[in-house]
Amino acid sequence: MNKVAIFGQAYKNTDRQYFEMLIENLNKFNIEILIYKEFVTILDELGVANLNYKTFQKHEDLDSTFDLLFTLGGDGTILNAATLVKDLNIPILGINTGRLGFLATVQKKEIENTIQSLIKKEFTIQERAVLQISTNDENIHFNDINFALNEVTIARKNSTSMIGVEAYLNDEYLTTYWSDGLVVATPTGSTGYSLSCHGPIIMPESNNFVLTPIAPHNLSARPLVIPDTTEIKLKIIGREKEFFLSLDSRVSTVPFEIELTLTKANFPVKIIQLNQQTFIGTLREKLFWGEDKRNYTS
């Protein structure tokens, strides 16, 4: 490990020791460090000293010479970091200074041991599928970021009225979801918004997407797991002129008359998993699946 990037978007002064711990342990091995420019500004305002490191600001500032990108924050920080990494194949490792942490699995007090594990190559790299979106309207660009690691969500705007989402799979009509909206999630996103709408949890290595309606009025409408080779087309019906379209946490306002096409992107986002971590273990820990007294009876 010779060169790394550090990305963050928010910072609490109580986390200062963990940032300093990360820098200190990287410096022990003479690793070149670049820090996200806006994160440096936040750190400087909080009085963090010795920030004499190179910075990066956008996707074009990164390249294949980076061994990995650290994030300091929660899962949302990793989702935003993915928009910087895009198709560069730079793996991401999240240090959890946020809340739940399905993706940011390294706890703050584990930083020193984590650096040791990275140096010893005691980790694997998971390739997480990404959803790519396009429309039949060339004027809609989604701020030039047309992909999502977690999910693409369609939701009603400025109204309590339902919207209709016509869904087509490989050009075959599936159904029209009369609901507050529809979540199309990757396996990574299956533990996010889709899960809160009663969607299934999908293992990261599964080659699937899931369509999960939000508060459907069709009483028979249920989440549907589909192969990730499926082309999904969506048309929106409603009384209003616009609806919300969210790619992870990036929200756009879109007119009803457009057609959306969702496919699997031709690149994955790479996530580092330390050898002592597993997705199943994360499920038990984060969802408290082991918190059942019957599991400990002899």
List b or e across 3-37, with b for residues whose CB sees 16 or more CB atoms inside 10 angstroms: ebbbbbbebeeebeebbebbbebbeeeebeebbbe
Band the pLDDT of 136: cuts 50, 70, 90: confident
Reply yes or no on whether 137 is catalytic. Answer: no
| pLDDT 10s digits, 188-220 | 999 999 999 999 999 999 999 999 999 999 888
The domain locations on the chain are 3-129+268-296, 131-264
Mean pLDDT value across residues 66-87: 94
Q: Which three-class secondary structure state does DSSP give residue 197?
A: coil
Residue 286 has pLDDT above 90, yes or no: no
| CATH 3.40.50.1370 matches 131-264 | no
What number of other Cβ atoms are within 10 A of residue 134's Cβ? 14
Kindly name the residue from 75, 87, 171, 292 that is annotated as catalytic.
75
The domain 3-129+268-296 is classified under which CATH number: 3.40.50.10330, 3.30.70.100, 3.30.450.40, 3.40.50.720?
3.40.50.10330
- State the Cα–Cα distance between residues 223 and 60, nearest whole angstrom: 38
Q: At what angle do helices 111-119 and 16-27 cross, to 10 degrees?
A: 30
Any idea which residue has 């979801």 for tokens?
Answer: 177
Contact 185, 210 (CB under 8 A): yes
Helix (H) or strand (E) holding 41: helix 37-45
* CB atoms closer than 10 angstroms to residue 269: 27
CA 182 – CA 179 distance, rounded (Å): 8
* pLDDT tens track for 239-270: 878 889 999 989 988 888 789 999 999 999 99
Tell me, what's the pLDDT at 292? Answer: 67
